[in-house]
């Protein structure tokens, strides 16, 4: 089995991210560092990531977390910041599916299923992600139209978003914005392109999966309907 597929099957991360672990020189097979993505692993090989032995896992785990602000969406952080994994007290290895910014809160999926992570994050699957967004001031109809049609900002193209105006708040407007791309800082950049700031950002759904009433920092296992939904993508 190819090294990235093997590592992903061990629940380390998605296949794409596992490729980077290899090229970064963090993976050893039978005591030797391997950096070739073509490396094959066979039964009985001793595989280590950052010096820790890993093994294929067959039990797949799917969790949702209501990510609070002030933590990073990685398994470990070299700056010592709190990570989303710190909130989930189970013994199996998990990794976050995609990213929310340090100061963004809301629905985050965690799993040890690398294939599933790819399905959700791959742009070709166009999985809808909806955010509750508090925007500075009152965006005009023309501004919202620009975002609905799609924009280019700082050399990056953002496809059109679905936008619902939820209501006016003090000095601000509450929107619900649905996107399918998941580019870096996508919502913040869209709003910044209007010369406005995002004051609050929370993801409330990923496709058919909704955050519901989970409190900040709380997590739960996905139910069978939610798992079926993801597998059907
Ligand atoms: N868009 C952003 O700007 N930040 C996030 O965390 C998610 C979407």
Closest CA to ligand 1's atom 2:
185
pLDDT at 57 over 80: no
CA atoms within 13 A on the CB side of 202: 18
Which residue among 98, 101, 107, 189 has the greatest number of ligand 1 atoms within 8 angstroms of its CB, and so is best to mutate?
Answer: 101
CA of 102 to the centre of ligand 1 (A): 9
Please work out whether the CB of residue 181 comes within 6 Å of at least one atom of ligand 1: no
Closest CA to 10 of 56, 43, 61: 56
188 lines ligand 1 (CB under 6 A): yes
Classify strands 172-179 and 62-67 as parallel, antiparallel or unpaired. Answer: unpaired
- Above 90 in pLDDT, residue 62? yes
Kindly report the backbone phi and psi dihedral angles of residue 77, in degrees, each rounded to the nearest multiple of 5, phi listed first.
-125, 125
Of all protein residues, the one whose alpha carbon is nearest to atom 3 of ligand 1 is: 185
pLDDT tens per residue across span 95-112:
999 999 999 999 999 999
Q: Which residues are catalytic?
A: 101
Each residue of 153-210: pLDDT tens digit? 999 999 999 999 999 999 999 999 999 998 999 999 999 999 999 999 999 999 999 9
Pocket test for ligand 1, best of 97, 201, 204 (most atoms within 8 A of CB): 201
| Three-point CA angle 13, 113, 79, nearest 5° | 30
Tell me the whole-structure pTM to 2 decimals: 0.84
Cα 164–Cα 165–Cα 170 angle in degrees, nearest 5: 150
pLDDT for 217-229, tens place per residue? 999 999 999 998 8
For ligand 1, atom 7, the nearest C-alpha belongs to 100
CA dihedral for 22, 25, 27, 29, sign (positive or negative): positive
């Amino acid at each position: 089995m190819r090294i990235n597929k093997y590592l992903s099957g061990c629940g380390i991360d998605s296949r794409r991210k596992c490729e980077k672990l290899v090229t970064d020189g963090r993976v050893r097979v039978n005591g030797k560092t391997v950096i070739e993505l073509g490396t094959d692993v066979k039964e009985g090989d001793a595989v280590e990531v950052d010096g820790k032995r890993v093994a294929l896992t067959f039990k797949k785990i799917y969790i949702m977390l209501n990510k609070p602000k002030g933590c990073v969406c990685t398994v470990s952080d070299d700056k010592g910041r709190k990570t989303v994994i710190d909130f989930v007290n189970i013994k199996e290895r998990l990794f976050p599916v995609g990213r929310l910014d340090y100061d963004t809160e809301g629905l985050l999926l965690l799993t040890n299923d690398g294939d599933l992570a790819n399905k959700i994050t791959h742009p070709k699957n166009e999985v809808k992600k909806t955010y509750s967004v508090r925007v500075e001031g009152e965006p005009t109809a023309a501004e919202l139209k620009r975002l609905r049609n799609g924009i280019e900002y700082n050399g990056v193209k953002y496809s059109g978003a679905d936008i619902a105006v939820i209501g006016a708040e003090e000095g601000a407007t509450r929107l619900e914005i649905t996107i399918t791309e998941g580019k870096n800082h996508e919502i913040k950049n869209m709003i910044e392109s209007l010369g406005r700031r995002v004051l609050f950002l929370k993801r409330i759904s990923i496709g058919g999966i909704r955050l519901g009433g989970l409190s900040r920092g709380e997590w739960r296992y996905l139910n069978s309907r939610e798992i079926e939904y993801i597998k059907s993508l």
